[in-house]
Amino acid sequence: MQTQILAFIVWGTLALAVVGTYFFFLLSTRQPLEGEDYYRAVGKLRKPLLIAMLIVLSLTFGFTIGSLPYATSRDLPDRVIYVGVKQFSFLLSSQPLVSEVQMDTLGGELIEIPANSRVEFRVRSFDVNHGFGIFAPSGELVAQTQAMPGYVNRLIVTLPKEGTYSVLCLEYCGIAHHGMRASFNVFSPVTGSTQ
Amino acid sequence: MASTSISSLPLFARLWSALFVILFPVLGLLGVFMRLFQSEMLPDIEPSWFYAAMTLHGLGLVGLVYATSFALLITRLSQYVAFRPSMLYVSTGLTGIGVILLVVLFLVRFGPGWYFLYPLPFKSAGVWPEWAPHVFLVALTVLGVAWLLWKLETLRAMAKSFKFSTMLGWHVLAGKAEPSVPPAVLVATICCIAGIIALSAAVVMLVFFYYTLLTGNAADALLVKNLTFFFGHVLINLAMYQGIGVLYDVFPTYTRHQWPMTKPMAIAWNLVLLLVLFAYFHHLYMDFAQPVAVQIIGQAASYGTAIPAAVVTILGTLAHVYRRRVEWNWSSLLLFFGTMGWAVGGTAAVIDSTVAANFRFHNTLWVPAHFHTYLLAGIVLIILGGIAHFVSRAREYTLRPARLPISLLLIGAYGFVTMFYIGGLTSVPRRYAIYPIEVAHGSTLAQVALVFVALIMVGVAVYLWDVGRLLFLPSKRSS
Ligand code: HEM
Ligand SMILES: [Cu+2]
Ligand SMILES: [Cu+2]
């Protein structure tokens, strides 16, 4: 399942459980019972709650910590796309792009990537922090990394769906932050079409 | 030990309460402006105003809840320890100067965002004047000094009445019941220590900015970003923790049940001090240049912070009311539901602090979703509840069980944040004045959010009439 949907369902379920619990306790004050030490009684739930949280959080930690998006130096992609970013544009290039002047000299290029290949986006910024967010043809955010001056961020992804992907900026970078964009195509290596 | 008077600082409490009930709605209106803008209802206004409003709204409200929750905590502490009021007013005055400078910066459309990343304040792309970052650094320095002094004075005042180890509840950990230390003192101590560490980090961060300003040389952007988020993360969490200190001290008046310092509570808060300092790494998951070990520590520490909150404070609040004759009114209901916002928003925060989820949620509307849940539906309610308690005691006024306006506040706040959550679910980026075609549905969400904001406004208006107004009537007792 899409990560966003799963996360939303988990949050929604827990949120409803919390709200339900709060109203249960609120309504319980309508039938007060003097004399009984209910504080103690509810306090007895502390240990089970602690243990339950430890178990759930450890399991979630164990299941999720394996899928880190970080590339190691041994990770070899099928191809590298160089990304240069500055206020307020992206440049995607198959040629190495390491300095700011190349943002003007390299010129735009239509990037075509075969579906299901491992592609690395090597992201650099030449002024402030920006974000490099990849949006699938369906509009779903599928991957991102930051673009930070002085650093190179390597984002390795496998894109299974064909079509036109958009790149939007995911770190506020000034007045035209919302207007920064780029795109690339993912095509099927079998049919050769992008649709 | 506890005296019956609510505070030996009535004027100070009244001053901060009044500031809050005025500034919270005003800064909230900037949020309404942003939602209107994102709804495409203000086509003739420049986006630079959106970003300037975003900056003042964020900085202003975070600063306001941080300072007010601390002021209320101090008001409670003044029952147990003696402050030097002059020090408190110096901090308050300096805070005022900082805030005035921020408002001036808004007028020249200074907009690097509430967390501003090096070197954006210097690269305005022609929007704000060259002197703006200078003034900004001065404003932040003034605020930093003010709040550092404030925390130091609080530590000093508490240390005069209590031994440092008992302030941290270590005697309780060792199994001793005496001396009895109010939980508010424990919480305040943790907040002072964490606050002093965070404010020191902010000073170092400012030094890097000054360095670039004065020499023109670049600093290390990743290092400065670490400092920025260390500071910002701790600050925003302290705002909540300070409110919890107020809760521990005020809520028992309505449940008629002691909330003493227990061993679990002492363990929890000592743990919080440790975890809150390491959880901030979750803000840098998408900086792939950051060491991987640090990212893993970030996820572990973030998960960890959920445990003391749930097991001690949330469960404690619930246990306090269970089948008890609780006096439900403006104050107790707001305090009670404030902790609910903390729980619901905290859950969303834990999800987002999972690296694998953050890969899809970072800098989407999921982020404002979770923090508005525990700020607007959490700490703001706790502060409003604390103010209601203070006012009603000071003026011998009986608060009503304002069920209807509180329902409006809750429905409004949860509906409002749900539109942000749906934005996160559907990949809408945060901090976008205008939504591009890929996420055009963002503006529909903004329109629906406005309906819920209207409910919040009605609830707040009733609160201001019922409670807020009393702050401004001439004092009854002194006459
Ligand atoms: C009715 C009340 C409020 C409304 C309508 C509102 C609205 C908004 C909106 C529209 C944004 C921009 C979201 C985006 O990135 O697209 C925002 C950001 C923010 N809000 Fe609120 N908000 C409200 C209350 C609060 C409160 C009570 C607090 C804090 C105590 C708060 C703190 C923030 C912060 C820190 C940001 C982030 C600013 C930034 O990204 O630089 N807001 N708010
Ligand atoms: Cu940007
Ligand atoms: Cu944080």
Task: List pLDDT tens digits, range A46-90.
Answer: 999 999 999 999 999 999 999 899 988 888 899 999 999 999 999
Q: How far is the CA of B258 from the centre of ligand 2 (A)?
A: 51
Q: Which residues of B touch A53 (CB under 8 A)?
A: 306-307, 310-311
Residue percentage of chain A with pLDDT more than 90: 80
Nearest to B269 by CA among B319, B307, B321, B320: B307
Q: Which residues of B touch A8 (CB under 8 A)?
A: 421, 424-425
Q: How far is the CA of B362 from the centre of ligand 3 (A)?
A: 12
Q: Which residues of A touch B287 (CB under 8 A)?
A: 145-146, 148, 151, 153
pLDDT of residue B1: 36
Q: Which residues of A touch B431 (CB under 8 A)?
A: 172, 177
Count H helices and E strands in chain B, helices first: 17, 0
Residue percentage of chain B with pLDDT more than 70: 97
- pTM exceeds 0.90, yes or no: yes
Other CB atoms within 10 A of residue A82 CB: 20
Q: How far is the CA of B352 from the centre of ligand 3 (A)?
A: 10
Ligand 1 atom having least distance to the Cα of B32: 5
Ligand nearest the Cα atom of residue B298: 3
Ligand 1 atom having least distance to the Cα of B113: 41
* Per-residue CA distances from A135 to A9, A57, A142, B198, B430 (Å): 21, 30, 6, 36, 15
CATH number of B6-472: 1.20.210.10
- β-strand pairing of A130-135 with A163-168: antiparallel
pLDDT of residue B8: 64
For ligand 1, atom 7, the nearest C-alpha belongs to B31
Helix axes B263-278, B221-255, angle to 10 degrees: 160
Question: For the residues B385-395, what does the mean pLDDT come to?
Answer: 93
The pLDDT of residue A43 is above 90: no
Question: For the residues B421-442, what does the mean pLDDT come to?
Answer: 98
Provide the number of CB pairs (under 8 Å) joining chain A to chain B: 244
Backbone angles phi, psi at B363, to 5 degrees: 55, 25
Query: What's the angle, vertex CA B157, arms to CA B243 and CA B7, rounded to 5?
Result: 55
Q: How far is the CA of B312 from the centre of ligand 1 (A)?
A: 29
Q: How far is the CA of B438 from the centre of ligand 3 (A)?
A: 28
Q: Both tokens of residue B409?
A: 């506040």
Cα B81 to Cα B66: distance, rounded to the nearest angstrom: 21
Binning pLDDT at 50, 70 and 90, where does residue B476 land?
low
Binning pLDDT at 50, 70 and 90, where does residue B277 land?
very high
Ligand 1 atom having least distance to the Cα of B420: 13
Q: Which residues of B touch A11 (CB under 8 A)?
A: 347-348, 351, 421
Helix (H) / strand (E) containing A182? strand A181-187
Helix (H) / strand (E) containing B415? helix B403-425
Nearest to B322 by CA among A47, A42, A75, A193: A42
Q: b vs e for B147-186, b when ≥16 Cβ sit within 10 Å of the residue's Cβ?
A: bbbbbbbbbebbeebbeeebbbbebbeeeeeeeebbbbbb
Binning pLDDT at 50, 70 and 90, where does residue B364 land?
very high
The string of DSSP letters for B165-234 reads HHHTTHHHHTT---S---HHHHHHHHHHHHHHHHHHHHHHHHHHHHHHHHH-PPP-HHHHHHHHHHHHHH
pLDDT of residue B395: 86
Can you tell me whether residue B307 is helix, strand or coil? helix
Average of per-residue pLDDT values in chain B: 94
Question: For the residues A22-49, what does the mean pLDDT come to?
Answer: 89
Q: Both tokens of residue B339?
A: 């902790």
Question: For the residues B226-247, what does the mean pLDDT come to?
Answer: 96
The pLDDT of residue B6 is above 60: no
Residue B351: which of A11, A45, A178 has the nearest Cβ?
A: A11
The pLDDT of residue B237 is above 50: yes
Closest-CA residue of A relative to B410 is A19
pLDDT of residue B471: 92
Give the environment of ion ligand 3: residues with CB less than 5 A. B 233
Task: List pLDDT tens digits, range A122-175.
Answer: 999 999 999 999 999 999 999 999 999 999 999 999 999 999 999 999 999 999
Residue A148: which of B127, B289, B438 has the nearest Cβ?
A: B289
Cα B422 to Cα B452: distance, rounded to the nearest angstrom: 14
Q: Do A28 and B47 touch (CB under 8 A)?
A: no
Let me know: does A94 contact A109? Beta carbons within 8 Å: yes
pLDDT of residue A34: 75
Instruction: Scan for tokens 């394996």, then name that residue.
Output: A66
Helices (H), chain A: 3-28, 38-43, 46-64, 102-105
Helix (H) / strand (E) containing A131? strand A130-135
Phi-psi region of A192 (alpha: psi -120 to 50; beta: other; left: phi over 0): left
The pLDDT of residue B477 is above 70: no
Binning pLDDT at 50, 70 and 90, where does residue B311 land?
very high
Question: For the residues B79-89, what does the mean pLDDT come to?
Answer: 93
Nearest to B365 by CA among B454, B301, B444: B444
Q: Do A32 and B425 touch (CB under 8 A)?
A: no
pLDDT of residue B7: 58
Under DSSP, the state recorded for A73 is: T
Q: In sequence order, which residues have a C-beta less than 8 Å from that of residue B468 and are 6 or more positions away? A: B21, B387
Q: Both tokens of residue B391?
A: 């006012």
Question: For the residues B122-151, what does the mean pLDDT come to?
Answer: 95
Cα B72 to Cα B75: distance, rounded to the nearest angstrom: 5
The pLDDT of residue B203 is above 70: yes
Report residue B454 CA to chain centroid gap. Answer: 22
Question: For the residues B124-140, what does the mean pLDDT come to?
Answer: 95
Q: In sequence order, which residues have a C-beta less than 8 Å from that of residue A111 and are 6 or more positions away? A: A81, A92, A93, A94, A184, A185
Ligand 1 atom having least distance to the Cα of B65: 30
Residue B304, amino acid: G
Other CB atoms within 10 A of residue B385 CB: 30
Cα B455 to Cα B150: distance, rounded to the nearest angstrom: 36
Q: In sequence order, which residues have a C-beta less than 8 Å from that of residue A174 and are 6 or more positions away? A: A87, A88, A128, B51, B120, B123, B124, B125, B127
Binning pLDDT at 50, 70 and 90, where does residue B478 land?
very low
**Cis bond before residue A8 (omega within 30° of 0):** no
Binning pLDDT at 50, 70 and 90, where does residue A37 land?
confident
Cα B408 to Cα B463: distance, rounded to the nearest angstrom: 11
CATH superfamily, domain A73-187, is Cupredoxins -  blue copper proteins (2.60.40.420)
Q: Do A38 and B323 touch (CB under 8 A)?
A: yes
Q: In sequence order, which residues have a C-beta less than 8 Å from that of residue A29 and are 6 or more positions away? A: B321, B322, B323, B324, B325, B326, B328
Confirm or reject contact between B222 and chain A (CB < 8 A).
yes
The pLDDT of residue B2 is above 60: no
Ligand nearest the Cα atom of residue B230: 3
Which residues contact ligand 1 via a Cβ below 6 A?
B 28, 31-32, 34-35, 54-55, 57-58, 61-62, 65, 113-114, 368, 372, 375-376, 380, 430-432, 453, 456
Binning pLDDT at 50, 70 and 90, where does residue B191 land?
very high
Let me know: does A144 contact A134? Beta carbons within 8 Å: yes
Other CB atoms within 10 A of residue A76 CB: 10
